[in-house]
A and B are shown apart, each in its own frame.
Chain A
């Protein structure tokens, strides 16, 4: 048996996954180099098995959760920023589009007249309503009081 044949089995023997047969055992008793390799492999195996697993630092979870919250907040900020930018862009686009359409179709004159009619109509309606405002306010107050009394009466266990 040659050293190369034994070399392949050294790690398995050291880990206890392979029991050396008679030929390997004989080689190990006569070959100092292979015997030393097996001894090194056995000590290495036992040290690797005995090594304590490094534990995570005490504040690991709390630090991680803070980092996650920061990352989430940053993501939300980015989403908000993109949404706001998109809304501004959309508003600008609509504004520019309307302005261009009005300019090219001549509707700006018509729309100015329409706005004039609309605003004068609103002013006339306001002038008609203004003298009756105290009457409307009184009626609303009476209605509110009546509703309040009804609500109190329906909720009161004594009645």
Chain B
């Protein structure tokens, strides 16, 4: 969304114009939900947290000065909500969770099928630190700019890219460790 249209939308929300906040939710709802769902991995909890993000937006709109873009401000709230959630719940997930264990790859042929790899990839992502998970989630979602994430996380752009590189490497190492 262009900055001018964002500004107009914020002004309309502040004037409490009918339908303005719903428009904001429609505009950012899927993105916020996807970011959280890919970071938290619990769909019902993700909905609660996405609603929490929009409640904070609703409460904070009168104080939003417009120095940053609306999307950047929203991502900052998403980052805060996800970080708080992680500080409350920390459940390490094993790639070899017995409840969902997949047939082990044969010793001769270690090629995984895509389905297996996807399943293990999801579990490996859950073992990453929260910040890495959020970076991976944001990087592979359309509409999230590095610049927005850097501002939202209070990190330089270069650091965001470095951390993303480290996150991907850690993810690969987790998968490789699982293969051995």
Contact = CB atoms under 8 A, between A and B. Distances in A.
Given A56-B29, A56-B30, A68-B55, A43 B47 contact: no
Given A48-B136, A67-B51, A61 B22 contact: yes
B7 interface: no
Q: Among the interface residues B33, B34, B168, which one has the most CB atoms of the partner chain A within 10 A?
A: B168
A54 B37 contact: yes
Contacts of A71: 55, 58
B interface SS class: helix
Chain B's interface size range is 35 or more
Given A60-B47, A63-B51, A11 B169 contact: yes
Given A53-B141, A57-B47, A67-B55, A47 B33 contact: no
A44 B32 CA distance: 24
Interface string A54-98: 111100110111011001000000000000000000000000000
Contacts, number: 90
B29 A61 contact: yes
B30 A64 contact: no
Q: Size band of the A side of the interface?
A: 20 to 34
A5 B21 CA distance: 51
Contacts of B43: 54
Interface of B: 21-22, 25-26, 29-34, 37-38, 43, 46-47, 50-51, 54-55, 58, 112, 114, 117-118, 121, 136, 140-142, 165, 168-169, 171-172, 175-176, 179
